[in-house]
Structure 1
Amino acid sequence: MYKNFDELASDVLALAKEIMPDRLIFINSLNDQHQIVLKLSDTDTKIRLTEGKVLNLDQTLCNRIDFEINEPLIYEDIKRESCLDSIRGTLEEANINSYVGIPISLVDGERFGTLCVGHHEASHFDKKSINMLQRIARMFSSYLDLERLAYKDSLTGLYNRQYLYKYFEEFPAAEGVLFFIDLDGFKKVNDEYGHDTGDQALKEVALRLQGFIKESQDAFAVRLGGDEFLLNFPHIASRDEINMLGHGLINCLNTWDKEYQLSASIGIVPYRADSAIKLNTLLKDADNAMYRAKAAGKNNYKVFDCVENSAS
C-alpha cells in the first residue's frame, strides 16, 4: 500500500509520462462546482497550471467529459474548435492548445476526477497511447476503491477509525482540536423504530457533519462506530474558535423534523504541535469530556483542559 495519495499520484504520472514524455500530465479532482489540480508531472512547463489550482468547473475542458460513456475527450488543435469559444479565455490563460482527458470513476460509478494530457501546441494523440492512459486510469481508480474500503465507513461514507490513526501517524507534529460526538437518544430510535431507521439517522448525521466542516480547511469527519463520531479541525487553537464551533455543532445536530428527536453530547480536546500526547490519550480525554457533557444534561459540550485534567 502507498503511504499517501501524493506517492500514488507521482507513480501514476511517471507511468503516463513514459507514454507521452513531451507532454504535461496532470491529475484533477472534480466536484459540483470546481476542478482542483492535484498533481502535475512537471513544474517547469509552458502550460500555466500549478498544483492546488482551483478552476470553475464550467470553464474547464474536463467538464465536457461524459462520465456515463467513460470515454476520453480529445482535442488535437483547440484553436480550431469553435465549440470551445465560451472557455477560450481560460484555455489561453493556461496556454493549452491540445488536450486529452481520461475520466476516473470509482467502481460504483462515483466520479473522482480526470487524468489529463496537455500541450501548448497542436499535437496528434495516437490510439495506442490513449488506450495505455485509459489502462493507467483504471488501475488508479481501482487503488482508490481499495483505499476507500480500507479507510471509509461503509454505512455513512465518512472516514473510519483506521483512517484517524493513519492521519496521526503521518502528521505527528500537527495541531488542532478533536470533537468527540455521542448522539443522545439514538438507542431509543433503534428500539422504537428499528435498525433501518437508525441507519438512516446515522446517514443524516454524517451528511450534517460533512456540511458543517465544508468551509474548514483540512477538517475531516470520522465515524468511530455505533453512534459515535469525531471531527478533527487542524489549525484551530483559540478558545473563541472552539466555543464557536461547539455551539454551531450542537445546533447542527439537535433539530430534527421527525417523529423522533436526537441531540449530541460533545467532548472537545485541543492538541498542540509540540505535544507528545498520543492519539489514544486524546481520545480518552475527549471521551471523558463527552461523558461530563452528558452528566450536565446532554445536548451540550465540554472542553477538556489538559493542564487541570478536567472538562469545562
Structure 2
Amino acid sequence: MRTQFEELKMYESFDELANDVLDLANEILPEQMFYLTAFTDSQQVILKLSNQKSSIQITENMVVDLSNSVCGRIDFENNQPLRYEDVKRDCDVEEVERLLDDVNIRSYLGIPISLTNGEKFGTLCAVNDEASLLDPRSITLLQRIVKLFSYYLELERFVWRDMLTELYNRRYLTKYFEDRSNEHGALFFLDLDGFKNVNDTYGHDVGDVVLQEVACRLETIVNEQKEAFAVRLGGDEFVLHFSRSASLDEWGRIANQIIETLSTWETAYHVSASIGIVTYTRDEQTRLDTLLKQADDALYRAKSSGKRTFKL
C-alpha cells in the first residue's frame, strides 16, 4: 500500500511550508513544543518538530500505532481540538493520561488536519512538560493556520492525483519511475470492456460513476497488497504497479482477482476488464514508456483473444 508519507516526498514546498506552519504556531504559543503528524489507517508519523524539548520523548520520524496515540482520539468529524491544560487535572481517561505521561507531556493540544473531502491527514500538536494556559483565541488562530495548510495539501495532492477518481495520475507514475529506476516489479495495464457502450447508452455522467466505482475497487485491491498503487492514465485506462517480484502464477492470480472484481455489477449496465502485464527486474533498464508499450501490446492480445482476460 502506498502511504501518504511517500507521496509527501514529492510535494515541492512541503518542508518549507511545514516549517513556516510550526514557526507561526510558535509565535502564538512560544512556550510550547509543536509538531506536525500524518496518519495512515493504523499509524501516526511525527513529520516535523518546531523545537526539541529534551524532557519530552517525541522525535521526528517517530511512528506510533493510532490505537496508542492520543491524537487518534481527536474529534475529526466535528473538527474539534483536544485540549488538556493540565493532564493530571483535566484528563479523566486513565489510558490517555498514561500515554501522555509515558512521553513526559503535562499539557497537550491536538488540532485535526483534514482535506476538503473529509479525509484525515494528521494533526498539529502543542505540548509541554508543564501545565500550560491554552486560551481559546490562540487555539482559534492555530486552527486558521491549519486550514490554510490543508488548502496547500489539497493543491499539491491534485498535482499527483486524477481529479475524477482520486487515483494517482500519469505524472505520479512518471515521477515514481524517475526516482526509483533500479527497483523491480510489475505493471498491470487494463482497460474496461464495454465502457464505450455505457457512455453511448447512459451518458457520460453514468460513465463517470462507473470510473469512480472501478477506482474504488482497484484501491481496495492494491491496499491488500504490499508496495502497490493504482493509476488512472485517462479515459477508461488504468495501471496497477507492484514494487516486488512474484511468480507468474501469482501475477495471474492477482489478474484474475481484478477481472472478477470488475466484472460484477448489479446495474442495468455492465463492464468487465482486460489486462496486459509486464514484469521487470533490477538488472534491466526500466524506462516507463517501454514498459507501458509492452503492457499495452499484452493488453491488445488480451482483448483480441476475447476480452475479460489477461496476457503476460
- Same fold (TM > 0.5): yes
Shift in alpha-carbon separation, 1:199–1:87, aligned structure 2, 3 A: same
Q: State whether residues 221 and 231 of structure 1, in contact with CA within 8 Å, keep that contact through their aligned partners in structure 2.
A: yes
User: Could you say which residue in structure 2 is the equivalent of 1:39?
Assistant: 47
CA deviation map 1:218-244 (0-9, x unaligned): 321111111111111112343343222
CA deviation map 1:137-181 (0-9, x unaligned): 233212211112322212111111122112222222232211111
User: Could you say which residue in structure 1 is the equivalent of 2:174?
Assistant: 165
Q: State whether residues 55 and 104 of structure 2, in contact with CA within 8 Å, keep that contact through their aligned partners in structure 1.
A: no
Cα distance in 1 for residues equivalent to 2:167 and 2:46: 21
Q: State whether residues 254 and 263 of structure 1, in contact with CA within 8 Å, keep that contact through their aligned partners in structure 2.
A: yes
Opposite residue 211 of structure 1, the aligned amino acid is T
1:65 aligns with 2:71: no
User: Could you say which residue in structure 2 is the equivalent of 1:308?
Assistant: none
Instruction: State the identity as a percent.
Output: 44
1:250 aligns with 2:259: yes
Match for residue 26 of structure 1 among 36, 43, 51: 36
Cα distance in 1 for residues equivalent to 2:63 and 2:9: 24
Aligned-residue offset at 1:270: 1.4
User: Could you say which residue in structure 2 is the equivalent of 1:4?
Assistant: 10
Cα distance in 1 for residues equivalent to 2:127 and 2:250: 43
Q: State whether residues 29 and 38 of structure 1, in contact with CA within 8 Å, keep that contact through their aligned partners in structure 2.
A: no
Cα distance in 2 for residues equivalent to 1:218 and 1:38: 21
CA deviation map 1:57-94 (0-9, x unaligned): 585344233553x4543212212234322433433444
Normalising to structure 1: TM-score of the pair?
0.82
Aligned-residue offset at 1:109: 4.3
Aligned-residue offset at 1:264: 0.8
User: Could you say which residue in structure 2 is the equivalent of 1:198?
Assistant: 207
User: Could you say which residue in structure 2 is the equivalent of 1:51?
Assistant: 61
1:290 aligns with 2:296: no
Cα distance in 2 for residues equivalent to 1:241 and 1:95: 48
Uncovered stretches (5+) of structure 2, i.e. residues with no partner: 1-7
Q: State whether residues 24 and 45 of structure 1, in contact with CA within 8 Å, keep that contact through their aligned partners in structure 2.
A: no
CA deviation map 1:263-304 (0-9, x unaligned): 11101111223432311111111101111111122111111x
User: Could you say which residue in structure 2 is the equivalent of 1:114?
Assistant: 123
Aligned alpha-carbon RMSD (Å): 3.0
Moved more, 12-21 or 196-205: 12-21
Uncovered stretches (5+) of structure 1, i.e. residues with no partner: 304-312
Opposite residue 232 of structure 1, the aligned amino acid is H
1:90 aligns with 2:99: yes
Length, aligned pairs only: 299
Moved more, 79-88 or 145-154: 79-88
Q: State whether residues 179 and 230 of structure 1, in contact with CA within 8 Å, keep that contact through their aligned partners in structure 2.
A: yes
SS, match of residue 114 in structure 1: strand
1:188 aligns with 2:197: yes
Cα distance in 1 for residues equivalent to 2:153 and 2:182: 26
Moved more, 251-260 or 206-215: 251-260
Aligned-residue offset at 1:28: 2.3
Asked which structure has the greater RCO (Cα within 8 Å, sep 6+), the reply is 2
Match for residue 274 of structure 2 among 265, 274, 280: 265
Moved more, 185-194 or 46-55: 46-55
Aligned-residue offset at 1:52: 5.9
Aligned-residue offset at 1:121: 4.0
